[in-house]
Structure 1
């Protein structure tokens, strides 16, 4: 006798994941077992649900309709089972979290530690990587990223907060080449490029005073996808770069870095929690997302406020000292072109 619930659930996961292999990996069974479950369901329904080739898997018209109905049925069944076990109200188990390096170094790790302390039956496993993982195949519950634009992933995205990156350089670099007074001056400076998912690597979108400015950074002597590597390059006096506020605040506070063009900020970046699309979340994922939303939104606002206060302090100090910016040595190769949009 065919286990209809098992076969239906397997079919739904295959459609969501896109491959038999991904479902086999997450279920700890063989690919052949996954394929057989779908075949038994098709035999029971006398309907072809999936087109299979050696390199491609696609859903038939009948399969697409069945998929939508099956998802609703399984969601209702799962909700009844979860409520019976009281799992919706009690967070427990292992929670696998991915975070981009800059976020992990900043407010996210502190928030995760606070979450675990508030939910002692949950163990948090934080993995740090710049690229966004495949949540199903890699087995993550939540991915935390900062981006100006989310890639089309099919995941559910919950906005946790927003912030603006800033331009920064070392005091040594500013002493040698001078402080830019406008975005146009950036064309005479060495600009360093940070590669991040969801953000253009060759354009800086700066905002301020009712206008926006696009700085095109077509070439750069240094580019990295690591915020820590970028901070090291900036500390070394290699040039001017974009730094997320949660990575910049300590350096700006200590004076290791100085704010460049404090009247301008990089276009708003949002911090998101991504998780697999399903109607009902288990308690540990749901409570984590709720906890992060309450923690990160005010934390990011406080960081931005402090950065603006630090910029005002530095400007006031510069004026009181009466120190004029040194003449800039001529740069051999301009690295930026600037377009202002009102």
Structure 2
């Protein structure tokens, strides 16, 4: 007996409300449909349906079995889809969303390299901070940096980590001096990044003494993107805790200095997120795999470069 096929027939009968209608939808006969359900009941030694000449109704056992059948058949569909698409050709439009700084510094280059391997994929990249609404935004893949993922039905694949560093301009240091430990920041003008992820007035560091938190004075300037923060620090408006990918160009050209080089912010995980494991499109799968394969090396290279600049 083909139990899986009989499960499918049973589910179709329940959905259609009759053996005849289910048979028509499956291009079978009412006799075949009825026999499949009867064989299932014999196998289970349980009546699943109460039948009359006009209607059918689930028994209590049938209701429970129907719910389990739905779950089992859904898993089978996922397995078949993944196996069938394992070597599918990636093509079509891929909508990607990324935080502004990460997208500008890393993702555009990564997409260019990815498209050399998969030239039939056309990417629509949106740079915006915050968590996207996959339904409303029509997003296929979102890049997210966070200390901890919230419970979500989204699928997440970690491909790296990043941290922020304390930076100041040369002109600010000449005018106000340099902090030598996190507590010294209290006496300095600090620019705050105003995002839901981090409390503005509390900076948390990993350093020689482990985790340290500093309560700062209210900021004279608040910004909502790392890029605006890096610009404000370059202009000498204060000290900022800047993600490495937004600070690296200023460090390399000497406009920014990494102060407190023994300290860094708590590391954020970097994730590629997409909506479902079911029927994952080949272009989504291949982009996520590409990021997982290549981004750790790129991130580590920038982090090592930042450390070298701090020693100059």
What's the TM-score once normalised by structure 1's chain length? 0.68
Q: Quote the offset at 1:202 in angstroms.
A: 3.1
Aligned pairs, number: 257
Q: Deviations over 1:155-177 (max 9, x none)?
A: 11111101221011111111110
Q: Quote the offset at 1:178 in angstroms.
A: 0.4
**Is the CA contact (8 Å cut-off) linking 1:193 and 1:220 kept in structure 2?**
yes
Q: Is the aligned partner of 1:73 residue 2:73?
A: yes
> 2:37 aligns to what?
none
- The structure that has the greater radius of gyration is 2
Change in CA separation of 1:112 and 1:194 when aligned onto 2, cut-off 3 Å: same
Larger mean CA deviation between 144-153 and 221-230 belongs to 144-153
Change in CA separation of 1:218 and 1:46 when aligned onto 2, cut-off 3 Å: farther
> 2:272 aligns to what?
273
Q: Quote the offset at 1:278 in angstroms.
A: 2.3
> 2:98 aligns to what?
99
Q: Quote the offset at 1:229 in angstroms.
A: 1.3
Secondary structure at the aligned position of 1:97 is classed as strand
> 2:229 aligns to what?
230
> 1:163 aligns to what?
162
Secondary structure at the aligned position of 2:93 is classed as strand
**Is the CA contact (8 Å cut-off) linking 2:188 and 2:239 kept in structure 1?**
yes
**Is the CA contact (8 Å cut-off) linking 1:163 and 1:301 kept in structure 2?**
no
Q: Quote the offset at 1:237 in angstroms.
A: 0.8
Q: Is the aligned partner of 1:118 residue 2:138?
A: no
What's the TM-score once normalised by structure 2's chain length? 0.75
Distance 2:56 2:243 in 1: 54
Distance 2:93 2:235 in 1: 40
Change in CA separation of 1:72 and 1:251 when aligned onto 2, cut-off 3 Å: farther
Q: Map of 1:1-342 to 2, 5 A cutoff?
A: 66=67, 70=70, 72-77=72-77, 80=80, 86=85, 88-217=87-216, 219-313=218-312
Q: Quote the offset at 1:137 in angstroms.
A: 2.9
Secondary structure at the aligned position of 1:123 is classed as strand
Q: Deviations over 1:110-169 (max 9, x none)?
A: 111111121011111101111211112321111002122223332111111012210111
**Is the CA contact (8 Å cut-off) linking 2:78 and 2:278 kept in structure 1?**
no
Secondary structure at the aligned position of 2:190 is classed as coil
Secondary structure at the aligned position of 1:192 is classed as strand
Q: CA RMSD in A?
A: 2.6
Q: Quote the offset at 1:72 in angstroms.
A: 4.4
**Is the CA contact (8 Å cut-off) linking 1:100 and 1:145 kept in structure 2?**
yes
Secondary structure at the aligned position of 1:185 is classed as helix
> 1:336 aligns to what?
none
> 2:27 aligns to what?
none
Distance 1:173 1:224 in 2: 18
Change in CA separation of 1:45 and 1:290 when aligned onto 2, cut-off 3 Å: farther
Distance 2:249 2:273 in 1: 28
Q: Quote the offset at 1:180 in angstroms.
A: 0.6
Distance 2:111 2:198 in 1: 25
Stretches of structure 2 that go unaligned for 5 or more consecutive residues are: 1-10, 16-54
**Is the CA contact (8 Å cut-off) linking 2:186 and 2:217 kept in structure 1?**
no
